[in-house]
Amino acid sequence: CLDKEEKVHEFGSSWRTKDCNDCSCSRNGISCCTSYMTPVDYDEEKCESIFNKETCSYKVVEKDDHSKECPVHSWVG
């Protein structure tokens, strides 16, 4: 398989892209999906979600104090 960065991958291989997608190569081609969950049910007036590209994950924190995490009731991904 040839990915969008022109890198060749063997059949049966899998990898994580720099955009936090998990991909795999089969005889049918390349299949990719996000490797992270996105927070969808939290107090958006008081809190904000911040994506960390190094860990491929979201953290939901208070807008006024990023050291305080907010409860998240639902995630999708």
What is the CB-side half-sphere exposure of residue 61 using CA atoms within 13 A?
11
Q: pTM of the predicted model, to two decimals?
A: 0.74
Structure tokens at 66: 């990023």
Instruction: Supply 72's token pair.
Output: 């998240």
What are the structural domains of the chain? 1-35 (2.10.70.10), 38-76 (2.20.25.590)
Q: What integer pLDDT is reported at residue 44 of this predicted model?
A: 97
Q: Tell me, what's the pLDDT at 77?
A: 84
pLDDT of residue 32: 96
Average pLDDT, the chain: 96
Structure letter (DSSP) for residue 2? B
Query: In 10 A of CB 17, how many CB atoms?
Result: 15
* Alpha carbon distance 39, 66 (integer Å): 16
The percentage of the chain sitting over the pLDDT mark of 90, rounded to a whole number, equals 96
